[in-house]
Structure 1
Amino acid sequence: MMANYLAALGPLITVLQLLAAESQKEDIIVTVRQGRLKGLRFESVRGQELLAFLGIPYARPPVAELRFKGPQPPEPWRDTREAIVEGNVCPQRDMMSGAFMGDENCLFLNVFTNKIPECPEQLKAVMVWIHGGSYKGGSGTSMVYGPDHILTEDVVLVTINYRLGLLGFLSLCEVGVPGNNGLKDQVMALRWVQNNIAQFGGDPNRVTIFGESSGGASVHYHLLSPMSKGLFHRAIAQSGSALDPWAYAEPDFLRWKAFTVGERMNCSAAGPHELLRCLQEAGANTIVQSTVGQVFSTSETIVPLRPTREDESQSDEEVFLSGKPEDLIASGKFHNVPYITGVNSREAIIYAEDMQSIPSFWEDSKQHMKSVIADLLGMQNTSQANEIAEMALSYYAGDEILTNKTLTGKHIDLFSDLGFVLGADRALKMQTLLSAAPVYSYLFSFDGGLGLAKLAFHTQLEGVSHADELGYLFHTAISPSVAEESDEMKVLLKMVKMWTNFAKTGDPTPDCDSLLGVKWDPTTKAEHVYLSIDKEVQMRRDLFKERMQFWEDMLGPYIKPYNSTNFCCNKTCSYYVPKDFS
């Protein structure tokens, strides 16, 4: 979601213009498997000379007959390709203006490093960033994910684009479209990294994937996917888990969603074959605008298209996800690599701002919140979902009456827990039971001047919102200057140090470091510890223990999102749309 903030910034000199202004020195040439690339030099906000290679195609353009297909390897080029401008963003709707933006030829990545190596012994740890955006928006742009801070710690940074919305997550398994193409794009990018990153000074045997929101959930999915095996060696999921209720849907739900989009496009589709034909003939603009509804309206789900499990018998493509995430984790079918997972103290602040800005919300705010809770729960039994929603509101807010048309911290905690904290907590506890590699947990609680979401949305609500921590890892086009001795810079330096330590060694605090002043211990079956990241960084235990226990007691086995028992996808079964999804 963060990449679209820039529409509200006005006549801003872009990062890429600044990069181009610094590119007048000797050409920087790197040869990858597809051909020669010309990069550029630039000076970071930290005063360091860096090298950038922008808009590198890692797959063939997914257009024409390749729309709705898995990604294909990139084609070679003859002449030296200028890698000095970022590639197209994938088709999406700008979250500020609502206008269509992007191009289907969008499978590009960017590589940032501080030096091209002279010998293999100089290879550095690699960090591959997967952006968030509810699987419907965002990109790997350096306007939001600038490398300035991370590269002070001598690593190689890669940022990627991947297909979004219906173009990235259409699932019609009856006609050979199993879904998850956006995640398969990410796999193709990771394969490109394995084949080429050494040319930029990166070590293909020390690759860390990290991401936030749906990018964080994507990171978690790569731990569960057979396609991703061996492509990375550590993982960091920020504010996103495959067990978050918005991060997964059963194939039946996605089939229903595809037909809903088709109806909005006036497709005369009696079945999946006709629908696919209509979608293949439509323009990307029409598909995008027909997919995305109003967030938090009672007729829309918060994340319209999502990852799903695949039926390998219905497609000749590789299977990214063979089962439900919770089943795969419970059976130990995940890659044993060092893993960091965590959340911010009040994730739902920016969503609360969206929710309460809808005029109809205040006509019956309690009923509207119950509808959102029921949607997040994803339960097919509507009356049961409504009952749980009523009890949740009572538990968190009691008899509190909303005044001044403003949601309180208690309501924000409710939506933060249900939308983000609970999924991360469940995954953490399940994986620590079975993982042979260390699993680390954190809570980011520093409410400072570099919080990205608060800078973009100008919210004054107390707490650390979803995406705020990004301002302490990346330089952005809206990041203010902060003094070296400020609390903001101190927290930024600690975050960058721990994240890059982890990328280099698999341990965020491998040595006694006066900057950090703490040893980050992994979570275990017996010790549910986490790192509290605030002005002071310290170990604590049992994150939001009472609140998490409430949800575990309340939901029990029903917490599995979109739990469907009638998934049917073969040539002999009839088309099915669950009544609860209509």
Structure 2
Amino acid sequence: MVSKRSFLLVFFSYLLLGGLQQAEGMVAEGPVVLNTPSGRIRGERYLLADGSKGMRFLGIPYAEPPVGPLRFAAPVQKRPWGNKTLDAREFGPMCHQPIENDAWDTVQSEVNLDALEHHLRKLLKVELGGEMYEEEEERLQDEVRKTGEAKRREEEGHGRNNTRKTKLYMKLKSMREYEMSEDCLTLNIYTPILEGGRRRGGGERGRGRGVNASLPLLLYIHGGSFYSNGGRIYPGEKLASLGVVVVTINYRLGPFGFLSTGDSAARGNWGLLDQHLALVWIRRHARYFGAATNNLLLMGNSAGAASVLLHLVSPLSRGLFNRAVALSGCSLAPWSLQTRPLYFARRLAGDVGCPLQPPRELVACLRTTSADHINEVYGEKNVQDGLWLAFAPVVEGENVGGAFLPWTPREALEGGRVARIPLLMTLTRDEVSIWFRNRPDNISLGDAEKWMDMLMRQKYPQLHPSSLPSVMHAIRAAYLYTLGYHPNLMVPIKTISDLISDLGLRVPCVEEAGILSQWTTLYLAEFSYASPDDVRVGNQKWIGSYHESDLQFVFGLPFLGLVNTLRGPQDTSVAATLMRILITFAKSGVPEVGEGVKWPVYNQTHPVHLQLDANLTLGHNLVHHRLCFWKRLVPLLTRWPIKPPKDDPSTAPSLTPALTPTLALTFTLTTLLFILLLHESPT
């Protein structure tokens, strides 16, 4: 006689079948349990569409929930969970971020599967009269997977056209579709098949054999302007199947991660300290997942790349990693630091009804304000500071004990206070072009001029009114008037995206690469491949090689069998190349390119970079003409009177006295004429 409890478990396993299909479209091949210093962790084996296999462990907490007194405070490492087995087969919640955000993710169904599963589990607990036992939870999961496998085999037996449920496609998802929580400090670990990982039928309660801990470890820090995204967006299954342990993490975002009053009331950099704790946690647990503790590659994109380079100069992170990769981001980018944090802390406090001063009362009030209310108000009013970000890393100062950033990144870089480890930096050719995907391809010359003038006012808010027009004219000449000048001229919107890309990414990051090359071995690359089959671009092919387009290949998405994007042979070839570069760099600190190309080290006397396209080539002087423009010419226009181009100003008289408006205009017009005569060289 089947008990009611057993019947309910089997019945609900069938209902949960859809809810437990994995977002990455893989076939789950059964649970696996590892022993770790924190306790037992149950993950699962997986099989990808191309036959690759691996193991994954999702939603592992590395810190205590940062709530109550731990909001706006350094994270505390998660306590071990004792004899309990942590079920790590589902992602944890995303950290709070504006719900208006969206993200491209891989999906299998239009149904919100996570919400469906959560709802059905609640119903089951009600029917059972309480929580499930651990054995019942395990049995439920196994029944779901058995049912799923049987259904998949049945559909395959009826032909390819009946296997729709196992197919994957890429979709732009709203953050409203994800669960969010302040208790979000989790990480996801992806590994190859580990010898010693125990299947459920192989003595799960026993100690089990130790795994061979020799694999390189890659910890990825996601981007998103320090206020969006999460580790789950970046699937590590394919990369891990090639012989590396991949870790993706969540860290606190927006005000939860970066609110600062500039003093001891709230020092800030909470999100960076979360990343630091994740590094400490994974080093302690690395060998239990097959990774060598002394071989950790820290990689990030955009704000994550800026984070990587901030860890490179932070005394707190020294010795925690021995290789680094920064993709489309750097610590010298103007958005990577917030220089007036108290202003934005007060603005947020005022918007949610908290006192503006003193700082301790402001912070105390914000700690007791609901996270949802803070998140809603922040998303509506406080995300950006002109061109830059309202909540971002801050410099705590040399006199602050245990500071993550005692100095500005520039001070640290120029003073050589950096970790001397191999470093790989990349940019994409077209960077922020993707931000304009929903705008017209062309705008009028007048609108383009207004755009550029607005950007210059935001970049130079303190510039004297007599100098700002000179800068505006120079920018127009360098970016607009090379296309010609006519009142009815239509200008490609990409002209504006090129300007923003140069200001926010390409120029500061190439400058940073030059400084870093004085202290460490550095490899520089430009990703210029643009897939003809990219759903994110659609018909707007001018978007080209956009910001984060390289991540689709870094994480091997063309190998996941996506049905609506990245299906061409060149896509898989480029992905294979990027993954090979990363894995060889993780293993030895020297990237192996293949195709008979040797990637030279980058420095200021030999500024050579790798051009990452369908065919690999070497290039020289990446962005140098723009770097000279922004770092040599534009600063001259912001300072009056202008000095002659001599190192020693005493060797020649300066322009005397301060320029009159007529002379200033003459100089500006001469400069514009000179720029117009130049042909823009390729980057």
Q: Above 0.5 in TM-score?
A: yes
Aligned to 1:522: 601
Contact (CA 8 Å) 2:608, 2:620: kept in 1 or not? Answer: yes
Instruction: Report deviation, 1:257.
Output: 1.2
* Whole-angstrom CA distance in 2 between matches of 1:449 and 1:382: 47
Pick from 46, 56, 63: which aligns with 1:59?
63
Instruction: Report deviation, 1:109.
Output: 0.2
Change (3 A) 1:533 1:265: same
* Whole-angstrom CA distance in 1 between matches of 2:496 and 2:391: 26
Write the letter of the residue equivalent to 1:263. G
Tell me if 1:135 matches 2:218: no
Pick from 515, 518, 524: which aligns with 1:441?
524
Aligned to 1:7: none
**Cα deviations by residue, 1:68-100 (Å, 9 ceiling, x for unpaired):** 001111111121111111111100013145759
Pick from 467, 472, 478: which aligns with 2:548?
467
Pick from 230, 236, 239: which aligns with 1:147?
236
Contact (CA 8 Å) 2:236, 2:247: kept in 1 or not? Answer: no
* Whole-angstrom CA distance in 2 between matches of 1:217 and 1:333: 16
Instruction: Report deviation, 1:120.
Output: 6.8
Instruction: Report deviation, 1:387.
Output: 4.5
Where in structure 2 are the equivalents of 1:254-269 lying within 5 Å?
254-269=341-356
Aligned to 1:218: 307
* Whole-angstrom CA distance in 1 between matches of 2:403 and 2:636: 27
Aligned to 1:367: 450
SS at match of 1:230: coil
Where in structure 2 are the equivalents of 1:391-470 lying within 5 Å?
391-398=474-481, 400=485, 407-433=492-518, 435=519, 437-449=520-532, 453-454=536-537, 459-470=540-551
Where in structure 2 are the equivalents of 1:75-86 lying within 5 Å?
75-78=79-82, 79-86=84-91
SS at match of 1:327: helix
Change (3 A) 1:485 1:283: closer
* Whole-angstrom CA distance in 2 between matches of 1:20 and 1:351: 28
* Whole-angstrom CA distance in 1 between matches of 2:213 and 2:366: 48
* Whole-angstrom CA distance in 2 between matches of 1:281 and 1:397: 50
Aligned to 1:240: 329
* Whole-angstrom CA distance in 2 between matches of 1:260 and 1:444: 39
Contact (CA 8 Å) 1:68, 1:170: kept in 2 or not? Answer: yes
Write the letter of the residue equivalent to 1:328. A
* Whole-angstrom CA distance in 2 between matches of 1:393 and 1:232: 44
* Whole-angstrom CA distance in 2 between matches of 1:416 and 1:180: 25
Could you list the runs of 5+ residues in structure 1 that have no partner in the other structure?
1-12, 560-582
Aligned to 2:390: 304
Instruction: Report deviation, 1:108.
Output: 0.2
Aligned to 1:68: 72
Q: Could you say what the CA RMSD is over the residues aligned between the two structures, in angstroms?
A: 3.2
Where in structure 2 are the equivalents of 1:67-146 lying within 5 Å?
67-78=71-82, 79-94=84-99, 95-96=101-102, 102-118=180-196, 122-141=213-232, 144-146=233-235
* Whole-angstrom CA distance in 2 between matches of 1:155 and 1:83: 19
Aligned to 2:365: 278
Change (3 A) 1:472 1:274: same
Change (3 A) 1:45 1:370: farther
* Whole-angstrom CA distance in 1 between matches of 2:347 and 2:566: 51
Write the letter of the residue equivalent to 2:548. A
* Whole-angstrom CA distance in 2 between matches of 1:239 and 1:522: 18
Tell me if 1:343 matches 2:424: no
Write the letter of the residue equivalent to 1:203. A
Contact (CA 8 Å) 1:229, 1:335: kept in 2 or not? Answer: yes
Further displaced range: 536-545 or 481-490: 481-490
Instruction: Report deviation, 1:363.
Output: 9.2
Contact (CA 8 Å) 1:296, 1:355: kept in 2 or not? Answer: no
Pick from 32, 39, 48: which aligns with 1:44?
48
Where in structure 2 are the equivalents of 1:314-333 lying within 5 Å?
318-333=402-417
**Cα deviations by residue, 1:302-347 (Å, 9 ceiling, x for unpaired):** 4221111003645x6x211111111110000010110011110011
In the superposition, the TM-score normalised over structure 1's length comes to: 0.83
Aligned to 2:106: none
* Whole-angstrom CA distance in 2 between matches of 1:242 and 1:293: 27
Instruction: Report deviation, 1:356.
Output: 6.9
* Whole-angstrom CA distance in 1 between matches of 2:51 and 2:367: 48
* Whole-angstrom CA distance in 2 between matches of 1:432 and 1:273: 42
Change (3 A) 1:267 1:356: farther
SS at match of 1:92: coil
SS at match of 2:426: strand
Structure exhibiting the larger radius of gyration computed from Cα positions: 2
SS at match of 1:539: strand
SS at match of 2:350: helix
Aligned to 1:574: none
**Cα deviations by residue, 1:198-240 (Å, 9 ceiling, x for unpaired):** 1010111110011111011111111111111111110000000
Change (3 A) 1:401 1:113: farther
* Whole-angstrom CA distance in 1 between matches of 2:595 and 2:53: 26
Instruction: Report deviation, 1:385.
Output: 5.6
Instruction: Report deviation, 1:152.
Output: 3.8
Contact (CA 8 Å) 1:348, 1:416: kept in 2 or not? Answer: yes
Size of the alignment, in residue pairs? Answer: 528
SS at match of 2:449: helix
Further displaced range: 348-357 or 188-197: 348-357
**Cα deviations by residue, 1:344-365 (Å, 9 ceiling, x for unpaired):** 00112023347779x9x99955
Change (3 A) 1:164 1:328: same
* Whole-angstrom CA distance in 1 between matches of 2:49 and 2:503: 38
* Whole-angstrom CA distance in 1 between matches of 2:389 and 2:20: 30
Identity score, percent:
27
Instruction: Report deviation, 1:277.
Output: 2.3
Change (3 A) 1:20 1:84: farther
Contact (CA 8 Å) 2:24, 2:235: kept in 1 or not? Answer: no
Instruction: Report deviation, 1:255.
Output: 1.1
SS at match of 1:173: coil
Change (3 A) 1:557 1:397: closer
Change (3 A) 1:120 1:151: closer
* Whole-angstrom CA distance in 2 between matches of 1:363 and 1:267: 43
Contact (CA 8 Å) 1:388, 1:554: kept in 2 or not? Answer: no
In the superposition, the TM-score normalised over structure 2's length comes to: 0.71
Write the letter of the residue equivalent to 2:270. N
